[in-house]
Amino acid sequence: MKVQLRYVVVAAALAFTAPLTARAQDANKPGGLNKVAQDISKTAKKAGRDTKAEVKRDAGKTHHALKHAGNETKTTLKKTTGIKGSQSKDPGGLNKVARDVSHTSKHAARHAKAEKNKAKSEAHGALTETGKSIKDTTLKGKP
């Protein structure tokens, strides 16, 4: 019985203090420099996410088109030449050419992705450094 009474008292206390806590949090919303920084960060993140989504959609469409074209070409060549090719690890003929082309394009794609990530990382570092210096400069001006 005592345990149930404790739970009732705790629940009642929480019910009365929850609105006060919510009001106190509203009063402490950022303003001034922090608000500007948060707005800029929010806008930059949204733009980045939107750009990333567009690039991903375009990459998916391109990948599908290239894969379809490659499969069609391979099918046409097989029908034309009558060569089916081997399924061994180190094939010759048409399959070897196809695998070499695939390897080269994958290597190029990995290299392009690494370059993109490097540029993105450098841009992020530069923006972070700029933001910190602006914040430091602005805060030094305060008494």
Check residue 85 and give left, alpha or beta (phi > 0: left; psi -120 to 50: alpha).
Answer: left
Tell me the pLDDT tens digit for each residue of 82-108. 776 666 666 667 777 778 888 898 999
Maximum separation of any 2 CA atoms in the chain, in Å: 89
Q: What does the alpha-carbon distance between residue 38 and residue 42 come to, in Å, rounded to a whole number?
A: 6
Q: What does the alpha-carbon distance between residue 41 and residue 43 come to, in Å, rounded to a whole number?
A: 5
The whole-number pLDDT of residue 100 equals 84
Listed residue (141, 126, 119, 127) closest to 37, CA to CA: 127
**Count of other CB atoms within 10 angstroms of residue 116:** 11
The whole-number pLDDT of residue 11 equals 54
Map tokens 């009642």 to a residue. Answer: 12
Output Rg (C-alpha) for the chain, integer angstroms.
Answer: 30
pTM above 0.85, yes or no: no
Handedness of CA 33, 38, 39, 43 (dihedral sign): positive
pLDDT in tens, the chain (143 residues): 454 545 554 555 555 555 544 444 455 666 777 888 888 889 989 988 998 899 899 989 999 998 998 889 888 888 888 776 666 666 667 777 778 888 898 999 899 899 989 988 998 888 889 888 888 888 776 65
- Amino acid identity of residue 55, one-letter, is V
Q: What are the extents of the domains in the chain? A: 1-30, 32-42+92-143
Listed residue (56, 58, 124, 119) closest to 111, CA to CA: 119
Output the six-digit token pair for 17: 């203090």
